[in-house]
Structure 1
């Protein structure tokens, strides 16, 4: 900073501080409350009185007291941003990795899931495929990993395969397909659930392929399917298109086979019998 700039700053700040030295405690409290509202610092406004008490007991310096207030505001902003990202992802229900019962499904390696939870695969733009029968934990893991990614700061979007294809078809009819594909291409992690449950016509399959191509080796995609790759020709009836889609979803990717035994059904039977 040049001498001129420093002088200019001192000229602006010093008189302002002098004018407020004579504030009463009540007036100072009101001024802080008003300033927090104006500057949009709700956390500082909420914790100020408690922070003052703690600062007095612990004999914090002015800088230490200010640091505690600002860090509290930053932490709460991070928390609110995390909540917004999880909500924006569009998950149909709350699922967390910590609630997953690995003992009930020994096909799934906890170490693999814990590694995926770090989000490094998303940073690298790699795909993830969860393949297995209904009730084997695919959607739980998909939503749990997506939630962990959103909490870590990634932009995540969850959708059902049929819903995505229907949206793409409608966008094409309204001549906004390119815009829609670009929107799906921007998120850090696109999660497509229930891929393989229904046959897609050629037009819908081709549009889905365009979304996958838009994201290829740039942004991650995760899918859950009840069909093994060999059975995807039931969903994508064009063999060449099917092969191209499988290639997009497996290159540099992680494939987790959740098995055929429904632990959800076994859990329900256990409770019914007890």
Structure 2
């Protein structure tokens, strides 16, 4: 019978979804007893652990739901390799106040300069704030929209996209869009106007976006919405990936026996 309270406590903690209470309550009780901490202090410590663990699980869930191709933080971005990038603006954006204001971010620059890394870093920062984030490439999103339209589930997909506080659309401009695809993508941007934030990365300057969407009218309307409340990151420079690859090759060559 002496085990009954323990069994019931474990059952109740599972039912209440308090896994950290269940895992730590006994060990922490002994620690608090040894330190002379009263029951209020014990419960406070236990509740703090539960809260921290719950926040950690929430962040992990947000990261999984965002479907990032890789988890990258701004801490690992080499700002020195791209001196033209406004580092202070990027770090300020990582505080996520722009998401609360429903503003957008557009990163423009040639291939390999770290636009995706910065977008992923800002997406991770938003997840750490507990905000729902979605990541996709422009071509993958258009393909998904076209498929959903043909299968009569477009409205459901549009609702899912609208549920993200931050939607990251990577590599806009790498693949030209069909007329229908361009119109569907425009609809995504239009629905988010002043309702949710977007991060867009592109290798093309704005004056070449007509080539992506195939229509001056559509491109003008899109840019009008995207740039109304926007932070623009200029990321032109030498290819970060190319320099990294060259540096690695030099290191390997230096390690080869003579």
Name the SS of the counterpart of 1:49 in structure 2.
helix
Q: Does 1:64 align with 2:66?
A: no
Deviation at 1:153, TM superposition (A): 0.9
Aligned-pair Cα RMSD in Å: 1.5
- CA separation in 2, counterparts of 1:232 and 1:60? 65
Kept in 1, the 8 Å contact 2:82–2:237? The answer is no
Structure 1 residues 272 and 174: alpha-carbon distance in aligned structure 2, compared to 1, 3 A threshold: same
Q: Does 1:138 align with 2:127?
A: no
- CA separation in 2, counterparts of 1:260 and 1:202? 32
Q: Which runs of 5+ in 2 are unaligned?
A: 252-258
Question: In the alignment, which residue of structure 2 is the partner of 1:202?
Answer: 179
Aligned residues: 251
Q: Which runs of 5+ in 1 are unaligned?
A: 1-22
Find the partner of 1:237 among 204, 207, 214.
Answer: 214
Name the SS of the counterpart of 1:187 in structure 2.
coil
Instruction: State TM-score, norm by structure 1.
Output: 0.87
Question: In the alignment, which residue of structure 1 is the partner of 2:197?
Answer: 220
**Where does structure 1 differ by over 4 angstroms across 4 or more consecutive aligned residues?**
none
Name the SS of the counterpart of 2:170 in structure 1.
strand
Instruction: State TM-score, norm by structure 2.
Output: 0.93
- CA separation in 2, counterparts of 1:184 and 1:34? 38
Deviation at 1:179, TM superposition (A): 2.7
Which is further off, 39-48 or 114-123? 39-48
Deviation at 1:114, TM superposition (A): 1.0
- CA separation in 2, counterparts of 1:175 and 1:267? 45
- CA separation in 2, counterparts of 1:181 and 1:31? 45
Deviations along 1:35-66, one digit per CA (max 9) or x if unpaired, are 22232211111112321122112211111111
Deviations along 1:127-157, one digit per CA (max 9) or x if unpaired, are 1100111110100000110011011111100
- CA separation in 2, counterparts of 1:271 and 1:173? 46
Deviations along 1:191-216, one digit per CA (max 9) or x if unpaired, are 10010001111111111111111110
Greater Rg, structure 1 or structure 2? 1
Deviation at 1:27, TM superposition (A): 4.6
Find the partner of 1:153 among 130, 147, 150.
Answer: 130
